[in-house]
Structure 1
């Protein structure tokens, strides 16, 4: 290992992704960056994930453990305890890395030693690996806590997150009771004063399939609001809370009218916005 190549620990928590995990791990094993520690933990998969990973672990000699299901955040925290790297990546077992991703992110973090984490752009692919549509690419930027809480700037996507281990440990790792781990950890690390870096590079492919959690609106709402509760002492808490409720109300109105009605009841008149009125129109006429 070259002295100029700090160790990067990549933690992959797998759950029922037998059809995707080989492509995911192959993209990590083929990285252009030389100093990588790969840690794979299967969190109680009921499909053939364990068999697929076991065969790859024997071939490539990376750390692999299969365990009873304890949840994503707890599994990632277990991986962090094992990790020896100066930097840490937590990566979805259904996603794929660009082959020079780690090389680029190490260079960015080395050039910006104040950053707690960085991320960048991604492309969406379907179950078969086909790019879905042309997507906007955001330029280089920096985000602080309020940027993330209020959505003032484009947030760093989960498949591209790259952590300074020091910052991740000061944050106490991921919250074991919050199942959408990326928003919480970005808020927690930035609340400690670490800026978040946004790179203009495309760093990963995000796989869209029927089981993506973002498609489950109630799951999203419960976990995002639970995340915001952790920062309820911040003066912008209620602004962020109602901004999110309005946004989800608009999304739910044409697709899940019972849930949309629940959300509308939680939004007081003083917090109505153009989005609220648009959602009401969709609820009544959509």
Structure 2
């Protein structure tokens, strides 16, 4: 069977300290049939100069643009991608050398798998492993359908390891520019279309946790996820899923941002309160405020 072309898309935005290591980890993959598309989405640091130096040496496709946001950037890159498999990859993360080869081999005879993923290691801004890295490394193989993702019945596939079938992305209309935190929605759309997400039980990438991660912007993250869930409001478990998420976020924010935590609490009907809601109330009124 002919080996497919895999298009790796790196959307770069103000990750100058990390972008070179990211790109090199793609160029050093053991899998030979990789098309690398790098797009700088209006960086204001020296990312462009760093990428240009690598582009001169390795000859990959590099374009710059005014800031459009990640979802628009991904959709435009996917439209011109030559590969039948697509790997969007964060410009601050690192691929393990055999990542693409392992995923391609796994997906070859499984047309029902729309997304293949794997495990990650957590690293800090300097590339050192976090103490909690072990729990992400050792998650066993799992297959997820729509309800598994929507109801969080199994561990989520980590974003730095997602490898998509291009046909699955095209079937669901690609990423939604209206929801900028893109991972959960595209996973729901693809599984809702009848595909599975298979997560391999081995480490495929390193995810870098640092001060400018989009997940650190808690209100942005919560709003994006609530808007994502709302697109599936006809699901019989929608209210349960929405309020369970709100309770988890209320607990998280209760001794970090008390004004925002109170806003979240107002969105949880009393009949939907759970253990996390009550724990959050305890933190809200009796715990010292955490420094952020």
TM-score range, shorter chain: over 0.9
Query: How far apart, CA to CA, are the structure 2 residues paired with 1:236 and 1:120?
Result: 27
1:119 aligned counterpart, secondary structure: strand
**Aligned match of 1:49:** 47
- Tell me which of 56, 62, 65 is aligned to 2:63: 65
SS in structure 2 at match of 1:245: helix
Distance 1:15 1:218 in 2: 21
Moved more, 174-183 or 129-138: 129-138
Structure 1 range deviating more: 134-143 or 185-194: 134-143
Q: Note the 1:50-199 alignment, pairs <5 A.
A: 50-133=48-131, 134-136=133-135, 137-199=138-200
Shift of 1:113: 2.1
Q: Give the RMSD, CA atoms, in angstroms.
A: 0.9
* Structure 2 gap ranges (5+): 288-292
Query: Could you list the per-position Cα deviations for residues 19-71 of structure 1 after superposition, in whole angstroms to 9, with x for gaps in the alignment?
Result: 10000000000000010000000000001011111111111111110000010
Following the alignment from structure 1 to structure 2, what is the Cα–Cα distance between the partners of residues 231 and 135? 33
**How many matched pairs?**
284
Please state how far the C-alpha of 1:4 moved relative to its aligned partner: 3.0
Cα distance between partner residues in 2 of 1:212 and 1:84: 30
- The answer to whether the 8 Å contact 1:89/1:161 transfers is yes
Return the alpha-carbon distance in structure 1 between the equivalents of residues 109 and 187 of structure 2.
20
In the alignment, which of 20, 32, 47 is matched to residue 30 of structure 2?
32
Report SS of the residue matched to 2:120: strand
For residues 54 and 233 of structure 2, what CA distance do their matches in structure 1 show? Answer: 44
1:263 and 2:261 correspond: no
Cα distance, 1:135 vs structure 2: 2.0
Matches within 5 A, 1:12-27: 12-27=10-25
CA distance in 2, matches of 1:139, 1:113: 22
- TM-score (norm. length: structure 1): 0.97
TM-score of the two chains, using structure 2 as the length reference: 0.95
Distance in 1 between the 2:279 and 2:13 partners?
Answer: 38
Aligned to 1:10: 8
The answer to whether the 8 A contact 1:44-1:69 is kept is yes
- Secondary structure, counterpart of 1:199 in structure 2: strand
Residues 5, 34 of structure 1: 8 Å contact kept:
no
| Runs of 4+ off more than 3 Å | none
1:118/1:162 contact within 8 Å kept: yes
Q: Distance in 2 between matches of 1:105 and 1:189?
A: 18
**Distance in 2 (alpha carbons) for counterparts of 1:282 and 1:111:** 50
Asked whether the equivalents of residues 140 and 199 of structure 1 are also in contact (C-alpha less than 8 Å), the reply is yes
Which 5+ residue runs of structure 1 have no aligned equivalent?
Answer: none
Moved more, 51-60 or 67-76: 51-60
Shift of 1:90: 0.3
Deviation at 1:215, TM superposition (A): 1.4
1:268: how far off? 0.6
